[in-house]
């Protein structure tokens, strides 16, 4: 039986694996002009995956599942096949936001369908370039594979009704990983209302990183999340963000620290804030 691999890989280790034909490198940058940026410059041999097109089934109304609902199994299987990914592939994913853009989301999705060998590049694109990993603007060619077999999400998910029940239950913890200003309702760059789910605690995903943009050590992350979770059963912990993407950064950090991966609320604030649920906002009376 093969040993479990770390969810993170350092640029130096990726550089050593560069020549391996077994590695499938995936660029998961997201945001405005992400695909154009990939075409201009990407790590050599990297394939591109698009957050909205490939890693979500974006609906016209985010009230139904948030801004980035998970795709159907059929769609995700097709995406993996087009990327040339099979169950035996060693997949390494990067973005330009230290894993918080879409790399950790893709990691969670692959891990959740039972894929064994998947890692996120610690430090992301910039760290790899700094380490000396070659870059390219070439159109990468690769072979597709037969449809990847997917039957279920193996990692736990929570829906809006479960969050409603959990947020005021002392046996549960609901974690919001957005930055403090968004949690406090001071600013909201993406959704219609600024604020948070009452009863949630704010643990910004940025706190998973050190000053150099790498994930903190296993020991530091384990200490941090053990103190936050206390004796709470991982089954009673729900993690969310704005649309179920950056929450995966914290799920990855927990896995890296040896903590059982808790539930992901994919709809997150983008769904909650559009469903006439109780909300904390700056206009909420004290």
Active site residues: 241
- Token pair 């403090």: residue: 180
> Nearest 10 degrees: CA dihedral of 265, 270, 272, 277?
170
DSSP the chain: -PPPPPSEE-HHHHHHHTT-TTEEEEE---STTHHHHHHHSEETT-EE--HHHHS----S-TTTT-SSPPPPHHHHHHHHHHTT--TT-EEEEE-SSTTTTTHHHHHHHHHHTT-SSEEEETTHHHHHHHHT--EE-SPP-----SPPP-----S-B--HHHHHHHTT-TT-EEEE-S-HHHHTTS--SSSSS--B-TT-EE--GGGGB-TTSSBPPHHHHHHHHHHHHTT--GGGEEEE-SSSSTHHHHHHHHHHTTPPP-EE-SSHHHHHTTTT---B-TTS--
User: And the tokens for 195?
Assistant: 């604020």
- The rounded distance, in Å, linking the Cα atoms of 276 and 246 is 24
């Amino acid at each position: 039986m093969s040993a479990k691999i770390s969810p993170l890989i350092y640029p130096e280790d990726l550089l050593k694996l560069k020549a391996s034909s077994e590695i499938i490198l995936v660029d998961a940058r997201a945001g405005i002009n992400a695909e154009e940026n990939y075409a201009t410059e990407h790590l050599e041999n990297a394939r591109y995956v698009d957050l909205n097109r490939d890693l979500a089934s974006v609906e016209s109304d985010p009230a139904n599942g948030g801004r980035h609902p998970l795709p159907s199994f059929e769609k995700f299987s097709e995406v993996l096949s087009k990327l040339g990914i099979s169950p035996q592939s060693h997949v390494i994913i990067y973005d330009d936001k230290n894993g918080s853009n879409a790399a950790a989301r893709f990691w969670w999705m692959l891990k959740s369908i039972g894929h064994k060998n998947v890692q996120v590049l610690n430090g992301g694109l910039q760290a790899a370039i700094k380490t000396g990993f070659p870059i390219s603007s070439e159109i990468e060619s690769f072979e597709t594979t037969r449809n990847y077999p997917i039957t279920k999400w193996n990692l736990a998910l929570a829906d809006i009704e479960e969050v409603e029940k959990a947020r005021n239950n002392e046996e549960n913890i609901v974690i919001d990983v957005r930055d403090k200003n968004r949690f406090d309702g001071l600013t909201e760059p993406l959704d219609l209302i600024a604020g948070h789910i009452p009863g949630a605690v704010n643990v910004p995903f940025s706190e998973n990183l050190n000053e150099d943009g790498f994930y903190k050590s296993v020991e530091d992350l384990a200490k941090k999340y053990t103190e936050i979770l206390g004796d709470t059963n991982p089954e009673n912990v729900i993690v969310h963000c704005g649309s179920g993407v950056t929450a995966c950064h914290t799920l990855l950090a927990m896995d890296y620290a040896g903590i059982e991966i808790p539930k992901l609320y994919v709809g997150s604030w983008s769904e909650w804030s559009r469903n006439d649920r109780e909300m904390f906002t700056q206009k909420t009376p004290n």
